[in-house]
Chain A
Amino acid sequence: MPTEELLLPETTVTASCGAECAIETYEEVYRKPATLVDVNMHYCPGCAHSLIHKLIMEVVEDMDIQEKTIGIAPVGCSVFAYDYMDIDMQEAAHGRAAAVATGVKRLMPDKYVFTYQGDGDLAAIGIGETIHAVNRGENILIVFVNNAVYGMTSGQMAPTTLNGMKTTTSPNGRSAELTGLPIKVAELMAQLGGAYFVTRQTISSPNAVRRTKKALLQAFQYQTLKKGTCFIEILSNCPSNWKMTPIESMKFIDEEMAKTFPLGDIKVPVTINTKTEGGIQ
């Protein structure tokens, strides 16, 4: 996280009541990235979409690539991502973000292009577009926010809903017999030849957030190599539809979701170590 010391001169201002007030100077230890629009977000209290938005925009700021970055927003809770991310963006039809991103990136191969999609958008209606974009090795980053539920439409079962998990459309708990088991999307993507970097991260703790940001940074940097698709699945929460407090929801990620969706890198770039004559690092 960027920190810099603000060296404001000590000064005084006149308040509206006429009183002179001194302005104290602080060392800046935290601020929102300038690439994030300074408005209130519509997300529910405790929802991690805002955090993940911020992480991506921090990376854009850190890499100084605001002028070269185009994002694709999905249909779902993050449909308004373009209201918050201060970059050029396109709003895709439900599930079609990877195809839209393909159109953008093929025409502008030197720009940074990413999609931001939820589990209903990517893993249900958009799984076809996603698989083919990754298989072609489109040089884009796909950020897949998996909270195991359709958030915006208020809590229906998703392809990633955990086995036995209750949702409004699986009121007795998801039944593997009737609806299959949750799709492990990151593992699925890692099977495809065009996938360059596939990882599953979460935001359930400060350490996890730092790892997620590191993965995002790596993925953006990899885009310049033009070696294939980067796919980052982020296990996230949905306190409103899970009917949990934000803290409970973070515990649920660690204690339940991560059992079905193991965290960590699934496919990492293979680099040739020239010093050891072709050995694999």
Chain B
Amino acid sequence: MEAKLMKGNEALAEAAIQAGCDAYFGYPITPQSEVLEYLAVEMPKHNRIVMQAESEVASINMVYGAAGAGFRAMTSSSSPGISLMAEGISYLAGAELPCLLVNVNRAGPGLGTIQPGQGDYFQATKGGGHGDYRMIVLAPASVQEMADHVFLGFDLADKYCNPVMILSDGAIGQMMEKVVFQPYIHNKVDKPWATVGKPASRNRNFITSLHIRPEDMEVQNQKLLDKYNLMRKQEVRYEEFQTEDAEYLFVAYGLSSRICQKAVDLAREKGIKVGLFRPISLFPFPYQRLEVLASQVKLMLSVELNTGQMVEDVQLAVKGKVPVEFYGRLGGMIPTPEEVLLHLEKLMQ
């Protein structure tokens, strides 16, 4: 396959087309506007729908309409825009509609900055909207994965009838790298629940998240829980780098994991046995594998571009078996590999 040099956001957009995305609804926001711009040019060539909505509130609800009619629909945004979509995401999860959402995370809170951040980890993995829902969250660490996760994300959304989020960041979205698009076969899933017009042969379909009787609501909540537990069982994804003999472990995702991978190389040159554990699925989080690693290493260091969010999941995973420390840079600042290693070395003393 031919490798192309592309921006992360553009690779993601191209993958959406190759994945058979029927409709994209979006609103401009830095650092992800390239997705909308790329699709504004390319989608019409494939007779697909691309629309610039009047707000993120509108775009997520357009996704709801299109997904409810049984089509492959997606949207993308960056942190403040995802907050505006939170209501719609909750409704999508409640109504069990498959769709792909992308957050090219920038630093916050509030308007924050347009530089990369990982401050939306809690929002993405613990449910940013109201109610009790989960969605599969994939964290790409390269331009290649920006593309790969689109194919995977759409398939998982269809498999579970649930929104899937790609949680990227401003650096992965903006950086240029080689990307190879593997041939993708869109195995279309039957969607007998879609609202496409009621023929005489079946009962009417309706898409709703409303279950006014508590007895009914509890049944629906239990059904959702069963689904989330199935995701926890089947969809854990992670990658390990030099963990075989590691005595110390970086835990990092997305951009942070790229920095930590360099820090592992630097450490190894110094003779320090450090490894990297990179969660690829942030929900479901790879708790079990981390617990196993806890009996092998002396210390885990969660490196994040926030004030410490994923570190709480790492702590949960290791159940106190090993010290878990945190190192973070904030406000769109990015640590160097040397800086990360220096922090680890301090902790080792």
Contact = CB atoms under 8 A, between A and B. Distances in A.
Q: Do A and B come from one complex?
A: yes
A260 interface: no
Which among A90, A103, A105, A107 has the highest number of chain B CB atoms within 10 Å?
Answer: A103
Interface in B50-80: 51, 53-55, 57-59, 61-69, 71, 73
A61 B187 CA distance: 36
Contacts of A129: 54, 57-58, 61
Given A67-B198, A89-B207, A128-B58, A103 B63 contact: yes
B197 A89 contact: no
Interface stretch (A93-101, A166-174, A182-190, A263-271): A93-101
B87 A93 contact: yes
A66 B198 contact: yes
A73 B65 CA distance: 12
Interface residues of B, number: 39
Interface core residue of A73, A91, A100 (most chain B CB under 10 Å): A100
B177 to A, nearest CB: 33
A89 B227 CA distance: 24
Contacts of B30: none
B62 A128 contact: no
Given A70-B195, A90-B64, A107 B71 contact: yes
A102 interface: yes
A119 B24 CA distance: 30
Nearest to A93: B91
Interface string A53-76: 000000000000011111011000
Contacts of B195: 70, 88-90, 104
A92 B207 CA distance: 9
B71 A91 contact: no
Nearest to A99: B61
B207 A90 contact: yes
Interface residues of A, number: 34
B69 A86 contact: no
A93 B85 CA distance: 11
Nearest to B91: A93
Contacts of B25: 103
Given A89-B204, A90-B64, A93-B91, A70 B57 contact: no
A67 B207 CA distance: 16
B65 A101 contact: yes
Interface in A78-123: 79-80, 82, 85-93, 96, 99-108, 111
B49 interface: yes
Interface string B80-101: 0000000110010001000000
Interface of B: 22-23, 25, 49, 51, 53-55, 57-59, 61-69, 71, 73, 87-88, 91, 95, 195-200, 204-210
28 contacts: A67-B199, A70-B196, A70-B197, A79-B210, A82-B204, A82-B208, A87-B197, A88-B197, A90-B206, A90-B208, A91-B95, A93-B61, A96-B57, A96-B58, A99-B59, A99-B62, A99-B65, A100-B68, A102-B65, A103-B25, A103-B73, A104-B68, A104-B69, A106-B49, A106-B51, A106-B62, A107-B66, A107-B71
